[in-house]
Amino acid sequence: MAKTLKQSFKDLNLGFRKHPVTDDLVVTKDQAAIKQAIVSLLLTDPGERLFQPELGSGLRSFLFEPLDSATAALINASVRDTLERYEPRIDIIDISTTPNSDENGYEVSLSFEVVGTEIAPLAVELFLERTR
């Protein structure tokens, strides 16, 4: 039996689609809202958000460093630091970053628990690559 959240989380869907019946913007709820917030935080560079110049991870700066385990460790540290500073709703269980030389990027996997809930651990996966 799936456990449910005791508290509810809502956020705007980043696709900015409108609801077909109400014409309001579609919202993202609960686990999906938290996952969306994590991805948004990790893909934001410091200085990118108005009035919050320090918010973000700066992961893009690592994409032009050597594709190796040392850079992967720096990415892990940046992900952990960013989420511990800006996402108080989660407890990080594990972060794994693997260099992928075939696709010239990094596979980042994050597993976490939502604070104050009894739901099973959740996961977010990203692929960080250079844009050409």
Residue 118 has pLDDT above 50, yes or no: yes
Cα 27 to the center of its chain, rounded Å: 18
User: For residue 1, what pLDDT is reported?
Assistant: 44
One DSSP character per residue, 43-59 reads TPPTT-STT-TT-S--G
pLDDT tens digits for 25-43? 556 667 888 898 899 999 9
CATH of domain 10-129: 3.10.450.40
Residue at 115: amino acid letter: V
The chain-wide mean pLDDT, for the chain, equals 85
CA torsion 74-61-84-6 (nearest 10°) is -120
The pTM of the full predicted model, rounded to 2 decimals, is: 0.82
- Domain coordinates in residue numbering, the chain: 10-129
**CB neighbours (10 Å) of residue 93?**
12
